[in-house]
Structure 1
Amino acid sequence: MDAVSGDQIELMGARLRLRAPTERDAGFARDMYSRAEVTRFLGTHDWTETTHEEALARIRRYRERFGPGTGAWLIETLETGSSAGFALMKPIPFSAHVKDESAEDIEIGWHLHPDAWGSGYATEAARLLIAHARRAGHRELAAVTNPENLASQRVAARIGMIHQGPSNRYYDTTCELFTLDLSAPPQPTHR
């Protein structure tokens, strides 16, 4: 179910609420993105964000991603109201060699705090985003993972995405590519 919160869309699940991040979430973002075990599979270089200013900048970037059928949401548990991570659905940047400027591919992704790993929250959040993407009229979603990020690859498979193999279409690097055709009826998925 979608609820409008200001100019943002809030997504509600059985255990989770996905909402627009605010500056009050900067402490959580700093804690999460300062951990090498979180950032090691995000991007093409080693990085962490350890300052409050970096966390605020990330929150601001995430808030700017909201558009028709896109966004970056904070994942909150309904039971405790605690933050678990971030879920993203946004235009994905093509690699420099890709010249298909008529297309805009939409990426789905999830970044979870280590305290939330193994809880099924990434899967539930991704399913909420998929339902939102269908309502927004997106035709396909892409997910890319570092080749070594087996946990995210399992989430992609669990939500019904098809593994396309290694690809260098996005981010100027080779990633494992997963796609989901949203024009097809939803398939039953397993936890």
Structure 2
Amino acid sequence: MKTLLRHTLLAAATLWAAGASAAVVTLGGVCDTSCDQLGLSAGGAVSASFDLGPAAIGPNQALHKGDVSAFAIQFGNISFGSDDLTNWDFWLQTDASGAVAGFQFLASFGSSFANLGDSIDLRGDQWWTSHHAVCFDGTAAAPCDFSAANYYVYAGEFEHGSTSLSVQAQSVPEPASLALVGVALLALSRRRPMAKAAQPARGG
């Protein structure tokens, strides 16, 4: 029992250290002017968060769409998450100290100029949204893809904010390490009563 408990705790500690490389990137900003189409007044808050799962945040790194396991966007009445659409792209760059040096996120429900939809373009210091927009490659509607040098194009109800967005990377433990810690604690709690029961009774 002692050997099993020791191995479980060691595995939990190892996974906990590895899980610390996972990160959640959060953005918070405001409409610096009235954003009527978003249902926000001047100073209204906007936010987004990105779960990078097992991706590590370290020096001189470039993270892309494949590193994002989930995201959530709340910009007034434009609200969606990673379960809602597939037409999006993500890019994050860190500097030599590991701090976030560049960030961009592009997403759209629109698929063509005849089928425009809610779209959003987030950057480290500014953002744009529209209820009628698509991603654009310079000549036609195209998938949201930074590697293809696509652009965000709007056709109406356009809102934006130039107030700087805060970008923070926060290390979080992975679920696997948390589960192993729970198993270890359960084993420890069950071991103590067994140890007491094994003690010989003292004579009076």
| TM-score past 0.5 threshold | no
The TM-score with structure 2 as length reference comes to: 0.29
Structure with bigger helix share is 1
Higher Rg of the two aligned structures: 2
Structure with bigger strand share is 2
Larger RCO (CA within 8 A; separation ≥ 6)? 2
